[in-house]
């Protein structure tokens, strides 16, 4: 089976987390605190300490992953432990609090922690799923190569268009200007590209040229286009137009793949923009939580 962050060393850290959770749960069920279960009992303090140490250790992953080759263990091992031990925090923190929540910094820390963990779950999904999708989408090309190919196709298209008709040339010119690869956050995540429009405009331009040519102002685009192509006196021009449509279609396919590539990469990264800032916010809330409970012991 393929070795992933989840099954690293035969699920070593899954077992560690299960043991940790089972131990905590057993202690919680066995423990008979004064009053109701809460963070102030000896078990509450113990689970709280385990939780706080885990959170700091999980945050350390952000530093560890940048230390290539001069740290203990492999990055994959650390990530596997990061995922499983991070997940175990859900139970440990809830047991620590005795399932008590309120409008306070303590529950805010809990909520931040849960948001960090659940955004991390998306990250695990993204890391396991998107690389394969990206590879398949790129079809053994690189994004730079695809972008270069689009530029090349644009140049070829302009040359061909010039040979057909000035309205066709204008349509191609406009489509080159309007080709949008990438964009803002939303555009990247939704994989928007305008390459589809280029083909439509080209067809419109051909239709326009044809109707102008034959004084034929009615009829459907495709019919008119085929008609135009079929009736072209100049075989060379007709052939050029076919090649042009082929070029624009190829460009469209390429642009879509680039947009999808950008989208997949953005999806693979976007959760980190929630995971990382929130984990630092959690560090702040956790510090406030710990200091405040001992300030008013």
Partner 1 sequence: MKWHIRRVVKKGKGSVSYEEEIHFGDTLSIGRAADQAIFVNDLRAALEHATVTVLGNGRYRIEALVASGIRLDGRLEQNATATSGSQIEVGNTRITLVDPPKDFEAAVEVSLVDKTEVAAREDAEALPMTLAEAGAGKRRAAWIGLVSMLIIGLGIPLAAHYVPTLRIATEHMPMVAINAWDTGRLHDAHHTMAGDCQACHGEPFEVVQDEKCVACHTATPAHADPAQFPLPDIAEARCAHCHRDHNGNEGLVRNDQILCSDCHRNLTERIPNQTLLTNVEDFGRSHPQFSVLLPAWAEDGSFAPVRTSMDQIPLIESSGLKFPHATHLRERGVTSPSGTVNLVCADCHTAEPGGALIAPIDFEQHCQDCHRLDFDLRIPDRQVPHADVAAVQYMLDEFYAKVALEGGYDDVTAPVIVRQRRRPGQPPPSQEERREALAWAQQKSTQTTDTLFSGRACGVCHSVSKDPAAVRGGWQVAPVRVAGQWYEKSRFTHNAHVTMDCEACHIASQSQASADLLIPEITNCRQCHAGEHHQELLPSTCIACHGFHQSEHVLPSANL
Binding positions for partner 1, rule: CB under 8 A? 32, 34-36, 38-40, 100, 102-106, 108-109, 112, 143, 155, 158-159, 162, 166, 169-171, 173-174, 176-177, 180-185, 187-188, 262, 265-266, 269-270, 272-273, 276-285, 287-289, 291-297
Interacting residues of 137 by C-beta distance below 8 A, sequence separation 6+: 257, 260, 261, 264
Smallest gap from Cβ 285 to partner 1, in A, equals 4
Does residue 14 contact residue 45 with C-beta atoms inside 8 Å? no
Smallest gap from Cβ 221 to partner 1, in A, equals 17
CA distance linking residue 284 with residue 98, whole number of Å: 22
With respect to partner 1, which residue has the nearer C-beta, 38 or 221? 38
CB < 8 Å & 24+ apart, contacts of 103-107: 105/285, 105/288, 105/289, 105/292, 106/39, 106/289, 106/292, 106/293
Smallest gap from Cβ 10 to partner 1, in A, equals 33
With respect to partner 1, which residue has the nearer C-beta, 100 or 249? 100
With respect to partner 1, which residue has the nearer C-beta, 85 or 193? 193
3 state SS of 99: coil
Smallest gap from Cβ 262 to partner 1, in A, equals 5
Does residue 49 contact residue 263 with C-beta atoms inside 8 Å? no
- Spatial CA neighbour of 254 closest among 177, 186, 179: 179
With respect to partner 1, which residue has the nearer C-beta, 46 or 159? 159
Does residue 259 contact residue 189 with C-beta atoms inside 8 Å? no
Does residue 213 contact residue 273 with C-beta atoms inside 8 Å? no
With respect to partner 1, which residue has the nearer C-beta, 75 or 189? 189
Smallest gap from Cβ 186 to partner 1, in A, equals 9
Residue 112 is encoded by which pair of tokens? 């931040």
With respect to partner 1, which residue has the nearer C-beta, 14 or 285? 285
Smallest gap from Cβ 179 to partner 1, in A, equals 9
């Amino acid at each position: 089976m393929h070795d992933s962050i989840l099954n690293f060393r035969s699920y070593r850290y899954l077992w560690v987390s299960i043991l940790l959770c089972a131990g905590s749960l057993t202690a919680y069920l066995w423990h008979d605190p004064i009053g109701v279960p809460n963070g102030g009992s000896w078990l509450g303090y113990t689970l709280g300490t385990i939780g706080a140490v885990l959170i700091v250790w999980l945050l350390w992953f952000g530093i560890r992953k940048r230390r290539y080759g001069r740290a203990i263990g492999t990055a994959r091992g650390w990530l596997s432990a990061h995922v499983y031990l991070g997940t175990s925090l859900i139970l440990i923190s809830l047991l620590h609090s005795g399932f008590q929540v309120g409008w306070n910094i303590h529950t805010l820390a809990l909520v931040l922690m849960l948001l960090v963990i659940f955004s991390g779950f998306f990250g695990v999904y993204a890391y396991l799923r998107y690389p394969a999708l990206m590879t398949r989408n790129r079809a053994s090309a690189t994004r730079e190569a695809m972008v270069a190919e689009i530029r090349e196709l644009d140049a070829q298209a302009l040359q061909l268009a010039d040979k057909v008709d000035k309205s066709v040339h204008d349509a191609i010119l406009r489509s080159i200007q309007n080709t949008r690869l990438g964009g803002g956050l939303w555009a990247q995540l939704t994989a928007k590209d305008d390459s589809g429009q280029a083909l439509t405009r080209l067809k419109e331009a051909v239709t326009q040229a044809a109707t102008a040519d034959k004084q034929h102002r009615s009829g459907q685009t495709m019919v008119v286009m085929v008609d135009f192509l079929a009736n072209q006196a100049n075989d060379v021009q007709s052939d050029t137009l076919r090649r042009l449509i082929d070029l624009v279609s190829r460009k469209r396919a390429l642009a879509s793949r680039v947009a999808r590539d950008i989208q997949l990469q953005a999806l693979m990264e976007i959760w980190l923009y929630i995971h990382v800032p929130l984990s630092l916010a959690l560090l702040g809330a956790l510090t406030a939580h710990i200091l405040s409970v001992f300030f008013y012991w």
